[in-house]
Amino acid sequence: MNWMHGAWAVFEKDVRLELRSRYAINMLLMFVLAALLLVLFALGQTPVSARVQAAVLWIVILFSGAVGLGRSFISEEERGTVLLLQLNTHGSMVYAGKLLFNFVLVLVLNLVAVAAFVVLLSVAVPLPGLLLTTLGLGALGLAGATTLLAAIIARTANRGPLLPVLLFPLLVPLLLSVVSATRAALPGGAGWAGAQDELLTLVGFAGVVITASVLLFDYVWND
Amino acid sequence: MNAPSTRKPAIDLRRYRFVRAAVGVWMTGVIGFAFLRDIPSLEILEHTARNLYFHVPMWFTMMAAVIVAAYHSARYLATDDPVRDVRAEQAARVGFVFGLLGILTGIVWARFTWYVGQGIWWNFDPRQTMVAVFLLIYGAYFTLRSSIDEPTRRARVAAVYNLFAAATMPFLTYVVPRQMPSLHPGAEGSPAFSETDLAPVMRPIFYAAIIGFIVLFWVIYTQRVRTALLEEELEENPL
């Protein structure tokens, strides 16, 4: 089987399964909306600085990602389809397919979270292009780091709650860059010129985690 | 019947004991000089400058431990040799303790120099925070290890996580600290000490302390590896 074809087949399978049950997407969206509303209730009428706004947005996104993305390999173990995938595809195809699926999921999640955030907190966004670039690069780094860790936790005994523990320390560089880049896109921010370093760091981070994942994935997958 | 031990000691024990004794003498000398030798007195810094001999070598040692742990994790994935897994774990454990000591010496030092009169113990200094993240990563590594019972699977998964974490560590040590203001020397560019950061009189003791702490790490680490291997052997063939 040709590589692109195999990776796309894994992606397509995941999308079809997701559309059948809509479990992951519903859970992620509910989580984001519930968390944002909780933050709003906690803040009340207090005006919040751009820094806090960006921090709140990304903390909510990271937590919902850590809750929702861990499913991607556990579900294979639960359905007993791991052997089937191992027989029919190469490890890197599975990784690429899952990475693409998780990336799309995080991207949708990010867009919904930002839309809710802009409406609910009534934030003005003078530079929507910069915000979208940040969201895209942040989603790539988040999906890249989470996909390998999801494969790792599918191998552990009590699968669920371990993912945030493994994930959050690794995401600190991503969180710092993404928060300052988001702040640059909000009113009073530094704009494109001020976010250059952060965007480059995000590109580097996504590149590093995806490269490392491609190299390491086979060792987790072919147990 | 007890099966006789088949594992030969990996190193010459006499030479090993010599190194252990030498590091004891060496560190005694370093500590003595560190506390007793005259140093230039600077305002605010005063005698706390002596902490340089302890605080900074902790980081060198922790970085050495991180490299040793990552190296053995990589070798484990390449060879499937269980000894590599034991080595990676013990290097991470000893490195974690050195990191903890480094952060404690740093907190106390900062409290009585940078934040004197303000009563702050912890501030958002990038290096301080990044090192806290290092400790979190190793905490996650130990948690991951304890969540898997089957030894080969545990070794493999832990090695993958360790290498994955090691791949993101350059961001913590090199990229992010340069994007943020810091009170640490080297925040302006190169992380090394410049000519003005370190008085000439302090250099020899500082370098001796770095060497001493790294060798001390090596002694503790190999000792722990030997203990872990013996424990494993005892579990298989109880006396």
What is the DSSP annotation of A84-136?
HHHHHS-HHHHHHHHHHHHHHHHHHHHHHHHHHHHHHTT---S-HHHHHHHHH
pLDDT over threshold 70, residue B6: no
pLDDT over threshold 90, residue A122: no
pLDDT of residue B204: 83
CA torsion through residues B109, B113, B114, B116, sign: positive
pLDDT over threshold 50, residue B2: no
C-alpha torsion A162→A166→A169→A175, nearest 10:
-80
pLDDT by residue (tens digit) across A192-207?
887 888 899 899 999 9
Least confident of A14-23, A46-55, A65-74, B192-201: B192-201
Going by C-alpha positions, the residue among A101, A103, A146 that lies closest to residue A7 is A101
Q: Say whether B136 and A220 touch across the interface (CB within 8 A).
A: no
Average pLDDT of every residue of chain B? 82
pLDDT of residue B163: 93
pLDDT over threshold 80, residue B47: no
Residue B112 pLDDT grade (very low, low, confident, very high; cuts 50, 70, 90): confident
pLDDT of residue B96: 94
d(CA B48, CA B30): 16
d(CA A69, CA B99): 31
Instruction: Name the more confident of B210 and B51.
Output: B210
- What percent of chain A clears pLDDT 70, i.e. is strictly above it? 98
pLDDT of residue B35: 81
pLDDT of residue A208: 93
CA torsion through residues A180, A58, A145, B97, sign: positive
Average pLDDT of the residues in B30-43 = 78
d(CA A48, CA A60): 16
Q: Which residue of A has its CA nearest to B174?
A: A173
pLDDT of residue B121: 76
Nearest CB neighbour to A155, from listed B77, B153, B159: B153
Instruction: Name the more confident of A64 and B73.
Output: B73
Give all strands (DSSP E) within B132-178, no chain letters.
Answer: none
pLDDT over threshold 90, residue B40: no
pLDDT over threshold 50, residue B3: no
Instruction: Name the more confident of B89 and B174.
Output: B89
Residue B182 pLDDT grade (very low, low, confident, very high; cuts 50, 70, 90): low
Residue type, B62: M
pLDDT of residue A52: 85
What is the number of domains present in chain A? 1
pLDDT of residue B54: 86
pLDDT over threshold 60, residue A102: yes
Average pLDDT of the residues in B140-168 = 91
d(CA B137, CA A168): 9
pLDDT of residue B155: 92
pLDDT over threshold 60, residue A190: yes
pLDDT over threshold 80, residue B75: yes
Least confident of A169-173, B71-75, B126-130, B228-232: B126-130
pLDDT of residue B158: 92
Q: Is residue B7 within a helix (H) or strand (E), and if so which, with residue range?
A: none
Nearest CB neighbour to B137, from listed A158, A170, A208: A170
d(CA A100, CA B168): 21
Which of B66, B171, B174 is most worth mutating to test chain A (most A CB atoms within 10 A of its CB)?
B171
Secondary structure (DSSP) of A29-62: HHHHHHHHHHHHHHHTT----HHHHHHHHHHHHH
Average pLDDT of the residues in A92-96 = 89
Residue A211 pLDDT grade (very low, low, confident, very high; cuts 50, 70, 90): very high
pLDDT of residue B221: 92
Q: Say whether B160 and A220 touch across the interface (CB within 8 A).
A: yes
pLDDT of residue B224: 92
Least confident of A7-21, A26-40, A104-118, A153-167: A153-167
pLDDT of residue B197: 61
What does the radius of gyration of chain A's CA atoms come to, in whole angstroms? Answer: 18
State the residue range of the domain holding A11. Answer: 3-221
pLDDT over threshold 50, residue B1: no
Going by C-alpha positions, the residue among A107, A104, A73, A85 that lies closest to residue A7 is A85
Nearest CB neighbour to A169, from listed B136, B156, B175: B136
Q: Which chain A residues have any C-beta within 8 angstroms of a chain B C-beta?
A: 145, 148-149, 152, 155-158, 162, 165-166, 168-170, 172-173, 176-177, 180, 197-198, 201, 204-205, 208-209, 211-213, 216, 219-220, 223
Burial of B114 (0-12, 13-18, 19+ CB in 10 A): middle
Average pLDDT of the residues in A206-219 = 92
